[in-house]
Amino acid sequence: MADYKIAIADEHEMFLEGLKNLLEANEYPGYKVAATSKSGKDLISQIGNEDFDALIFEINFVDIEPEDLIKGIRKANRNVKLFVLSAYGDMNLVKKCFRLGVDGYLLKSSSSKALFSGLDTIFRDDIYIGENLKVSPVKSISDNNSSTESFEKKKYPYDRFLIRQKLTRREKEILRFINEGMSNRAIAKELYISDHTVGVHRKHIMKKLNVNSTADLISFVSEFDILIKEEEPVDV
């Protein structure tokens, strides 16, 4: 019989399969992977219906922000151990996760030995931070040309998750409305704030993403797919 009941979550199915096999091959302590999820919202739903000793999960999902994911998990189950196993090691992000209540954080580039050491640590009610975590600089979006020309010329892979982390929650909310073609006045009415406040947020968004016009901003959103995916309505 397994010592610990675990749920794991990641968008990549092959990674989930490998992690499940790795955990269940460990003899002592024994781990039973009782649930797997490929979305953040699915993970929250699963832990609300079943008790687990720990969750091992990535924080980069297209359907939910890291903050909302961790808060949602904690609301569904305040006692479960939370262990982030992520490709992202930016220390501001790591610190945010610990402030929100995670128990452990490890990079995917770490060894299996580090994973099991981390799990042992959190089950002793201690905090675990992977030793190879360090500040990871985010590539600059700046360029002297227009943003559209910039990301057409620069062929380096862009990371939608890190781009999203540059924006505040309110800025992401306003960006979604801008992407839908809404004016400052319409956005202000929707959010019960002033036109001026919307304009200030719009300027901050454009500065952070280094775009010079609304057209460039919408092109940027489309190019890098940086908005959280909304659930499609279900036809009844």
Which CATH number characterizes residue 154's domain? 1.10.10.10
pLDDT, position 134? 59
For residues 149 and 162, give the distance between their C-alpha atoms in angstroms, rounded to a whole number: 21
Beta bridge partners of 9: 37, 57
Residue 24 lies in a domain: yes
**Percentage of residues in the chain having pLDDT higher than 70:** 86
pLDDT in tens, 161-209: 888 888 888 998 999 899 888 999 999 999 999 999 999 999 998 888 8
In which element (H, E) is residue 16 found? helix 13-25
Residue 153 lies in a domain: yes
For residues 201 and 207, give the distance between their C-alpha atoms in angstroms, rounded to a whole number: 10
Task: Tell whether 9 and 108 lie within a shared domain.
Answer: yes
Residue 196 lies in a domain: yes
Instruction: Give the domain CATH number at 80.
Output: 3.40.50.2300
Residue 183 lies in a domain: yes
Task: Tell whether 54 and 157 lie within a shared domain.
Answer: no
Task: Tell whether 49 and 121 lie within a shared domain.
Answer: yes
Q: Domain containing 100: what range?
A: 4-129
Residue 141 lies in a domain: no
pLDDT in tens, 10-22: 999 999 999 999 9
Domain boundary among 69, 103, 129: 129
How far CA 234 is from CA of 2, 152, 176, 204, 231, in Å, comes to 39, 37, 21, 36, 9
Count other C-beta atoms under 10 Å from residue 147's C-beta: 22
pLDDT, position 47? 87
**Per the structure, how many domains does the chain have?**
2
For residues 222 and 113, give the distance between their C-alpha atoms in angstroms, rounded to a whole number: 40
Task: Tell whether 153 and 100 lie within a shared domain.
Answer: no
Task: Tell whether 32 and 96 lie within a shared domain.
Answer: yes
**Residues 7, 3, 48: CA angle, nearest 5 degrees:** 30
pLDDT in tens, 104-152: 999 999 999 999 999 999 999 999 999 877 544 334 344 444 433 433 3
Mean pLDDT of 56-62: 94
pLDDT, position 158? 56
Residue 125 lies in a domain: yes
Task: Tell whether 206 and 124 lie within a shared domain.
Answer: no
How far CA 207 is from CA of 103, 143, 158, 191, 197, in Å, comes to 35, 12, 18, 22, 15
Task: Tell whether 70 and 156 lie within a shared domain.
Answer: no
Burial profile 224-234: b = 16 or more Cβ within 10 angstroms, e = fewer: bebeeeeeeee
Task: Tell whether 123 and 152 lie within a shared domain.
Answer: no
Task: Tell whether 122 and 152 lie within a shared domain.
Answer: no
- pLDDT of 157 above 70: no
Residue 57 lies in a domain: yes
